[in-house]
Amino acid sequence: MSESVEFFDKEKYQYYSTLAENLTFGSANQAVFREPNLSKNEYFLVFLKEVNLFQPLMALGTRLCRQAIEILRNLPPTEIFFEQSPFETDELEKYKSLYEQLNKLEWSQLNPDDQKRILELALRFVPGRHKMIALPDGFRRDILKARTRFREKIAADFPDAYSFYRKSDYLISHSIMNNLFFGKFKTSNPQIQHAINEQVVQLLIEEDLLETILKIGMQFQVGSKGDRLSGGQRQKIAIGRAFLKKPKILIMDEDSILAGFSLEGENDVDCRRSSSGYYPRL
């Protein structure tokens, strides 16, 4: 799977993980250390300055903001155009405003909240996906040095704050799939991901673990209206639900169920429209 998965390796820079993940190289067990909060975490900010990474990260975030806005500002807010940028479609206006300020001011002249947004952008940077800019020279080496220092420092000051990526440890905050292949996908191609899923299922069968995993999965709490599921997961549930009800007529397009009806016209599948297709009410 090495062509499609970048396996976690503490000695290497992970090109398909965020810059924040490369620095911490673990899963935060406390909310204040989770990635969206790092740009506001005073302990983490002091650490960045101690290892001389704060200013390079701010410079990187500034470049990302300028480059992304120059590419995206005149394009429709469609997800496909944002795949190589470090922000989502609903954040475009916020970063447009920041872009305008950066045309007049240096990042050091921005107010504290805007500086945190710049830093957050840099910490989200994934070189393998966000190819609008290249990873600066020397950055990889500096991040690896800081990674070692961060692990030592956080273990001394907040020993329960992180579960670090170790092959011998189960990552509680990660999925069973991630724990099995212990890395990140290099691609969003569904065919490749499906092929890897098949390899993992085969492994579970060989290890006599598939039935146990299925029982655990069926107990998963999907959240209010299925908000803990992705669009693709909702579609899969819709397909499974439709087949379980065995409607006489099943209407589908290439990637989603449109409706399921009995011959009497009663709707056998309670579906709702979303941007990515229909999914069952949960």
Q: Output the DSSP codes for 32-77.
A: GGSGGGGGG-HHHHHHHHHTT-HHHHHHHHHHHHHHHHHHHTTS--
Strands 5-7 and 257-261: unpaired
Q: Which residues neighbour 74 within 8 Å (Cβ) at sequence distance 6 or greater?
A: none
Q: Which tokens sit at 133? A: 């800019």
Spatial separation of the C-alpha atoms in residues 157 and 163, rounded to whole Å:
14
Per residue in 44-81, pLDDT tens?
A: 999 999 999 999 999 999 999 999 999 888 887 777 77
User: pLDDT value at position 171?
Assistant: 77
Q: What is the mean pLDDT of residues 106-110?
A: 93
Q: How confident is the model at residue 195 (pLDDT cuts 50, 70, 90)?
A: confident
Does the pTM of the predicted model rise above 0.85? no
Say yes or no to pLDDT of 98 above 90: yes
- Mean pLDDT across the chain: 82
Say yes or no to pLDDT of 204 above 80: yes
Per residue in 153-164, pLDDT tens?
A: 999 999 999 989
Say yes or no to pLDDT of 255 above 60: no
Q: How confident is the model at residue 175 (pLDDT cuts 50, 70, 90)?
A: confident
Q: How confident is the model at residue 225 (pLDDT cuts 50, 70, 90)?
A: low
Q: Which one of 11-25, 186-200, 243-257 scores highest in mean pLDDT?
A: 11-25
Q: What is the mean pLDDT of residues 68-97?
A: 83
User: Strand, coil or helix: what is 7?
Assistant: strand
Say yes or no to pLDDT of 3 above 80: yes
Q: Is 53 left (phi over 0), alpha (psi -120 to 50) or beta?
A: alpha
User: Strand, coil or helix: what is 110?
Assistant: coil
User: pLDDT value at position 218?
Assistant: 67
User: pLDDT value at position 228?
Assistant: 67
Spatial separation of the C-alpha atoms in residues 230 and 252, rounded to whole Å:
19
CB 5 within 8 A of CB 196: yes
